[in-house]
């Protein structure tokens, strides 16, 4: 009788669809930054990552980029804080819906 138990090693090496989607979204964000969406400093960082001259962890840990990323994160946090509770809830709902659509589309394509 054949053993139909999946090989744990094979399962561990199967690509995680959510992780692949996260990579795809990150790559899209980096491409937007490389096109200048975040200003010259983040454009340089994104170009270095996309070209393979730096990895994301290395770039984020670099003081030159960290201060710019922190400034952008602070501005984003302030933008969220300035929103009404209703607007924030609507943003969260729309974001959750969009992520659901992206997951579905990505799995159908993959």
Residue that wins the pLDDT comparison between 13 and 101: 101
Across residues 19-47, what is the average pLDDT? 92
- This model's pTM is above 0.75: no
Tens-digit pLDDT profile for residues 66-106: 999 999 999 999 999 999 999 999 999 999 999 999 888 87
Give the residue extent of every domain in the chain. 18-83
For residue 22, what are the CA distances in angstroms to 19, 28, 74? 5, 10, 23
Residue that wins the pLDDT comparison between 78 and 7: 78
pLDDT band at 14 (very low <50, low <70, confident <90, very high): low
Q: What is the dihedral of CA 15, 21, 79, 73, to 10 degrees?
A: 50
């Amino acid at each position: 009788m054949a053993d139909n138990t999946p090989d744990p090693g094979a399962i561990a090496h199967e690509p995680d669809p959510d992780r692949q989607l996260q990579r795809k979204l990150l790559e899209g964000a980096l491409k937007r930054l490389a096109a200048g969406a975040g200003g010259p400093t983040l454009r340089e960082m994104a170009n270095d990552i996309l070209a393979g001259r730096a990895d994301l962890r290395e770039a984020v840990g670099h003081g030159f980029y960290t201060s710019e990323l922190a400034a952008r994160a602070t501005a984003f946090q302030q933008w969220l804080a300035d929103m009404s509770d209703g607007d924030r809830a609507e943003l969260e709902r729309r974001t959750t819906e969009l992520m659901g659509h992206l997951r579905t589309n990505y799995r159908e394509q993959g």
